[in-house]
């Protein structure tokens, strides 16, 4: 029997969601998945949109033009189903993350220190020892972040914010601001399967599914871990950083050296220095 066409339009979170959905035999036998990455503006061929039976997507506003969710939905056939699921972004572990373009995982406080006439060791000392809550309103930052996620949740079939807020202190749920760990991705997949009238993933399948986004665990500032009362994230904790196992302070020093030497590609710098 010919498979139905499923378009999966999402960011990097779409790949593990697809792989999880395919663990459900009924889904994999029913659908042929065509995954397109939204943030690189990968085009979706018109013939695939016209033939689409199931559209799984991260909601994109009208400023995305022909890749906006409304535009694509308007081109689907009447019998097609469109199911939105959330693009999760979590700032609680990293409230000083900046949206400043041009550098991966920018830190607001570190960037401000780098603008001053300070040595590498002085910057590191101030970054580690300055009481951050005297400068930044963490409570307000986290409240604003939660509001954004609540808005995403409102246009999605997946309810996830309360799930995160209930357990993020006891269990690390994200490796980076936008790389959720397996538990949350399984929750997304199971919600989609339920919406399609299919069974949840088998416990053994979930257990055997490998951890997600393992190349980089964005280190958490120990002061943030203390502020949030996390059961992890202390000063001695080591994180997977592109082949190296670094404490937060060691990671911060590499950030400083990367910026001080004028490199814009932080990921490439971390990969190059992994064994040093």
pLDDT digits (tens, 9 = 90+) for 179-231: 999 999 999 999 999 999 999 999 999 999 999 999 999 999 999 999 999 99
The SS3 of residue 161 is helix
Q: Which residues contact 231 (CB under 8 A, 6 or more apart)?
A: 169, 170
> Over the stretch 112-136, which tens digit does the pLDDT of each residue have?
999 999 999 999 999 999 999 999 9
Smallest CA-to-CA distance from 58 within 23, 33, 22, 82 is with: 82
pLDDT of 276 over the 80 cut: no
pLDDT at 110: 96
pLDDT at 190: 98
pLDDT of 101 over the 90 cut: no
Please provide the CATH number assigned to the domain covering 1-84+181-216: 3.40.50.12080
Q: What average pLDDT score do residues 84-110 get?
A: 94
Mean pLDDT, the chain, rounded, equals: 96
pLDDT at 1: 74
Q: What average pLDDT score do residues 255-262 get?
A: 96
Segments making up each domain of the chain, as ranges? 1-84+181-216, 88-177+218-276
Q: Which pTM was predicted? A: 0.94
């Amino acid at each position: 029997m010919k498979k139905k066409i499923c378009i999966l339009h999402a960011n990097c979170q779409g790949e593990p969601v697809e792989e999880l959905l395919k663990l459900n035999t009924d889904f994999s036998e029913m659908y042929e998945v065509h995954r397109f990455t939204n943030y690189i503006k990968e085009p979706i061929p018109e013939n695939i949109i016209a033939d689409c039976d199931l559209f799984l997507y991260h909601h994109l506003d009208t400023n995305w033009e022909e890749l906006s969710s409304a535009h694509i939905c308007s081109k689907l056939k009447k019998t097609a189903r469109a199911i939105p699921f959330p693009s999760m972004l979590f700032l609680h572990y990293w409230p000083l993350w900046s949206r400043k373009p041009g550098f991966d995982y920018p830190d607001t406080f570190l960037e401000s220190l780098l603008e001053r006439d300070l040595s590498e060791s002085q910057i590191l000392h101030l970054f580690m020892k300055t009481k951050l809550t005297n400068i930044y309103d963490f409570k307000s930052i986290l409240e604003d972040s939660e509001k954004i996620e609540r808005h995403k949740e409102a246009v999605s079939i997946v309810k996830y914010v309360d799930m995160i807020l209930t357990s993020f202190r006891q269990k690390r749920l994200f490796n980076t601001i936008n790389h959720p760990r397996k538990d949350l991705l399984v929750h997304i997949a199971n919600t989609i399967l339920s919406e399609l009238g299919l069974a949840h993933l088998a416990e053994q399948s979930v257990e055997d599914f490998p951890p997600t986004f393992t190349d980089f665990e964005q280190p958490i500032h120990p002061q943030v871990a203390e502020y949030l009362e996390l059961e992890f994230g202390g000063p001695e904790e080591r994180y997977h950083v592109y082949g190296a196992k670094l404490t937060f302070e060691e990671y911060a020093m590499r950030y400083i050296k990367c910026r001080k030497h004028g490199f814009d590609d932080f990921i490439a710098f971390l990969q190059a220095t992994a064994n040093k």
